[in-house]
Structure 1
Amino acid sequence: MIARLAFIIVFLAVSALFFTQNPPSGPSIQHLDKAVHFTLFFVLAASMHYAFRLHWSWSMLLLTGYGIAIEVIQHHLPARGADVWDVVADVAGAATFYILLGLYKKKRRG
């Protein structure tokens, strides 16, 4: 129950960040937005895993679809823009979680 509530909170917070008309401004560091996408989707994958215990392939499919949907919606927002590299960063973040989880489980089995 707590894990599902945590996922909902993370999902809503991530959605709010990606769909806001005026994205938060910060330091002008090249590719910082890709690091943000990577990190947020790593956290989304982790929270989804512990909330629903879906097979990694289903989670990756859902998160990839969500990443694509974000970019399609951002394309239609006046102050935002779509970028295929954001989707790549999203998928990389989620995949990294599942790769690390797999390595952790393999090491525990010994």
Structure 2
Amino acid sequence: MKALVALTAQFEMASTAYADANGITRNDDWFILKMQEELGELTQVWIKLTARGRKRGKSDDELRHDLADEAADLLGHILLFANRNDIALAPAIKRKWRFEPDIFN
């Protein structure tokens, strides 16, 4: 659990710094709206990578890089949302996925 708490804290510090630098108010709605935005961006890259959208001159390697970036953004915003809403992910993962990942140990 320490690793996930530490990872969440790192995302929180980066997000707070970004919000402060850009005059963004992170209220309750912001956290879920950012998750939705990042999922949309991940989907856009996936559409391009799977030849269902215009690649706009990007190679598959560049798109895979973008895909990884957007997946990282989504992961960060999921952790930020869970943290903001006091969601205990470890018990939920055990209930829903029926395993306890090493990151919680």
Q: Which has the higher contact order (CA 8 A, sep 6+)?
A: 2
Q: If you compute each CA radius of gyration, which structure gives the higher value, 1 or 2?
A: 2
Q: If the TM-score is normalised by the length of the shorter chain, which range does it land in?
A: 0.3 to 0.5
Length-normalised TM-score, structure 1: 0.39
